[in-house]
Amino acid sequence: MGNVQYAKEEHIALITISRPKALNALNYETLRELNEVIDKIEDDRDIYCVIITGSEGKAFVAGADISEMKDMDVYGAREFSSFGNKVFRRIELMEKPVIAAVNGYALGGGCELALCCDIRIASENAVFGQPEVTLGIIPGFGGTQRLARVIGIGKAKELIFTGSRINADEALKIGLVNKVVPPEKLIEEAMAVAKKIAANAPIAVRYSKTAINRGVECDLDTALSYEREAFSQCFASQDQKDAMKAFVEKTKLSGFKNR
Query: In degrees rounded to 5, what are phi and psi of residue 77?
Result: -65, -40
Residue in 56, 53, 63, 51 with CA at minimum distance from that of residue 25: 63
The sheet with strand 98-102 has its strands ordered as 4-9, 12-17, 49-54, 98-102, 119-123, 179-181
Active-site pick, 29, 132, 170, 249: 132
Active-site pick, 33, 68, 112, 184: 112
Query: In degrees rounded to 5, what are phi and psi of residue 211?
Result: -65, -40
Asked if residues 219 and 154 have their Cβ atoms less than 8 Å apart, the reply is: no
Q: Count CA within 13 A, CB hemisphere, residue 25.
A: 11
Cross-strand partners of 100: 52, 120
Q: Can 10 be counted among the known catalytic residues? A: no
Q: Can 158 be counted among the known catalytic residues? A: no
Catalytic residue positions, numbered:
112, 132
